[in-house]
Chains A and B, each alone.
Chain A
Amino acid sequence: MENKSIEQLNDICSQVRRDCLRMVHGVQSGHPGAALGLTEYFVALFFKEMTHNNQFQMDGKGEDLFFLSNGHVSALWYAVLARSGYFGVEELGTFRKINTRLQGHPATEEGLPGIRIASGSLGQGLSVALGAAQVKKLNGDDKLVYAVMGDGEQQEGQVWEAAMYAAHYKIDNVIAAIDYNGQQIDGPTEKVMDLKNLKAKWEAFGWEVIDIKKGNDMEAVLAGLAQAKGLTGKGKPVLILLYTEMGYGVDFMVGTHKWHGIAPSDAELANALGQLKETLGDY
């Protein structure tokens, strides 16, 4: 848990967004939309809320653990890990390029510090997080396990297998979050496959559900995380419905699925970077 001000955290967000855009632009491939939308949440976790060690240990004993189920947000995770000191920021320039440790989707195969499981094929991350959370209990480790999923990912059946399991076993040391941006590759979730009342569904599965209505507002994110932490240890798993805007921070990317999986051109990158302050020095 680091003692950073809201202003400092927002400065990190601005830099991380620049990193993400430059990474995706540099290889002309990747997923900028959800990365920009989840930036506040990731920065809040890695620079404020989580107890974690950038001298990476796979077992993570005595640390809070983080699992990303919607692995296509990889650019954001890599940027946050690099800015947290897990590896040098210059390595961000290798994103998605041949011989990189920064694979298109997160992987352990190349030994990138910070990654504990491969993800990208959707629906699997919550199950993994729950297994890790149960082992924390077996090991007498009181730290928490965080998991992030996409909202489109809620269409995967395995998510609901995991949801049922967590409540049955009272896994109350996990905080899962759904990136509730209402978008998926083929369009708005309500048109592709309507999720209907997600909150009611998760509550019906036995979870404690809270909203973070302003998922791109650092103060609101921190308040929501504090609330979520307060709900742990009480016999129920905790879910955050994290309302975000895809592409947040760049005016022409915000609020549309169009930027789910395409890279900005040179001109678009210049325009976008003009909207985001360089606070920590570009890699």
Chain B
Amino acid sequence: MEKTLDLKFTYTEKKDTRSGFGDGLLEAGRQNPNVVGLCADLIGSLKMGAFQKEFPERFFQVGIAEANMIGLAAGMTIGGKIPFTGTFANFSTGRVYDQIRQSVAYSGKNVKICASHAGLTLGEDGATHQILEDVGMMKMLPHMTVINPCDYNQTKAATLALVNHEGPAYLRFGRPSWPIFTPKDQEFVIGKAWKMIEGTDVTIFATGHLVWEAVVAEAMLREEGISAEVINIHTIKPLDEEAILASVAKTGCAVSAEEHQINGGLGDSIAQTLIRNNPAPLEYVGVMDSFGESGTPTQLLEKYGLNAENIVKAAKKAIARKMSY
């Protein structure tokens, strides 16, 4: 269906965002001798194999022991290393929340927590592994930067940007093959939202895989004569409040779209920004306080209301609420 639409961004290739991380890490290792990698028995899944092969002395297989991995990474910053830890998002956050809180965030350590297989699009493995709360946990931690890029190219650029970013950071990406629709070798500025499509009736703030769904939704809305602005919020914390407020000042209403619980995710951060500065209707596209389940990524995004059609519905609802103000 999306092929018949007049999309403002298109793709010729699909790839998983985790490969963007793996390729970014390899390049980061070549650029900076202080970059080290740690992985908890998921080297293949995290695409860290190329880094391991080229820099064996700077790579640490830690086994299935995520708590230890976080502590090790914190220790490795003492002496000047820049550790990138890799495991699934579930084991990168909930399993090790206290370790991240005390040894990384509170201690202000320059650790990059890199988390794959986030969200529903993990697919068939089901709810045990489909974490939908990780952004909330990470953004609550003082000092923590939270980044959720949208495709292979942006994930690679984000990985490289983190090398030169001093401080704790959480980098969230995923498993499925996904359209590559942002430029190769793009500049990635942490904390700076990217206005991808200009519009006037409603703003769609999307993050991660759902940025693509937002791009598709914009074309669908345009066919119905609705002008949507699409803003790529790759950095959830620190949030680019200036960009959010400027856009909503123009459009008057907004939709947030994320592969995460609506409680504690990007939508809540935007709501907080709006309510403190310029209250405006905001509709959430996200998981409504439930766990996921097994299925294909496409099936799951549809069933849990996270695809382009749902963004379209939310946009219309936001516009209707604006009209009734």
Closest A residue to B74 using CB positions? A128
B107 within 8 A of A: yes
B79 within 8 A of A: yes
Q: Give the residues in chain B near A157, CB-CB below 8 Å.
A: 67
8 A Cβ contacts from A49-82 to B: 58-61, 65, 67
Q: Give the residues in chain B near A100, CB-CB below 8 Å.
A: none
B98 within 8 A of A: yes
What is the total number of residues of chain B having a CB less than 8 Å from a CB of chain A?
Answer: 32
Once the chains bind, are B102 and A118 in contact (CB under 8 Å)? yes
Once the chains bind, are A119 and B102 in contact (CB under 8 Å)? yes
The 8 A CB mask of A5-27 against B (1 = contact, 0 = none) is 00000000000000000000000
Distance in angstroms between the alpha carbons of A59 and B80 in the assembled complex: 7
**Of A107, A117, A139, A164, which one neighbours B109 at CB under 8 angstroms?**
A117
The 8 A CB mask of B276-320 against A (1 = contact, 0 = none) is 000000000000000000000000000000000000000000000
Once the chains bind, are B78 and A127 in contact (CB under 8 Å)? no
The 8 A CB mask of B198-240 against A (1 = contact, 0 = none) is 0000000000000000000000000000000000000000000
**Of B58, B63, B67, B102, which one neighbours A138 at CB under 8 angstroms?**
B58
Closest A residue to B76 using CB positions? A131
A141 within 8 A of B: yes
Q: How far is the CB of A222 from chain B (nearest CB, A)?
A: 27
Once the chains bind, are B67 and A60 in contact (CB under 8 Å)? no
Once the chains bind, are A131 and B102 in contact (CB under 8 Å)? no
The 8 A CB mask of A113-144 against B (1 = contact, 0 = none) is 00011111101111111111111101101000
Closest B residue to A60 using CB positions? B78
Q: Give the residues in chain B near A87, CB-CB below 8 Å.
A: none
B182 within 8 A of A: no
A161 within 8 A of B: yes
The 8 A CB mask of A138-154 against B (1 = contact, 0 = none) is 11010000000000000
Once the chains bind, are B67 and A158 in contact (CB under 8 Å)? yes
Once the chains bind, are A132 and B65 in contact (CB under 8 Å)? no
Q: Give the residues in chain A near B72, CB-CB below 8 Å.
A: 127-128, 130-131, 134, 162, 165
B57 within 8 A of A: yes
Once the chains bind, are B107 and A132 in contact (CB under 8 Å)? no
Closest A residue to B65 using CB positions? A161
Once the chains bind, are A121 and B78 in contact (CB under 8 Å)? no
Q: Give the residues in chain B near A162, CB-CB below 8 Å.
A: 68, 71-72
**Among B58, B63, B68, B80: residue with most chain A CB under 10 A:** B68
Once the chains bind, are B78 and A165 in contact (CB under 8 Å)? no
A29 within 8 A of B: no
The 8 A CB mask of A100-120 against B (1 = contact, 0 = none) is 000000011100000011111
Once the chains bind, are A130 and B57 in contact (CB under 8 Å)? no
Once the chains bind, are B57 and A126 in contact (CB under 8 Å)? no
| Chain B interface (Cβ < 8 Å from any Cβ of A) | 36, 57-58, 60, 62-63, 65, 67-81, 83, 98-99, 101-103, 106-109
Can you sample 13 A-B contacts with CB below 8 Å? A108-B106, A108-B107, A117-B107, A117-B109, A128-B74, A130-B71, A134-B60, A135-B79, A136-B79, A158-B68, A161-B68, A162-B68, A164-B63
A127-B103, A135-B78 known; 14 new pairs, CB 8 Å cut-off, are A59-B78, A65-B78, A117-B107, A121-B101, A127-B71, A127-B74, A131-B72, A131-B73, A132-B78, A134-B72, A139-B79, A157-B67, A161-B63, A164-B65
| Chain A interface (Cβ < 8 Å from any Cβ of B) | 58-61, 65, 67, 107-109, 116-121, 123-136, 138-139, 141, 157-158, 161-162, 164-165, 168-169
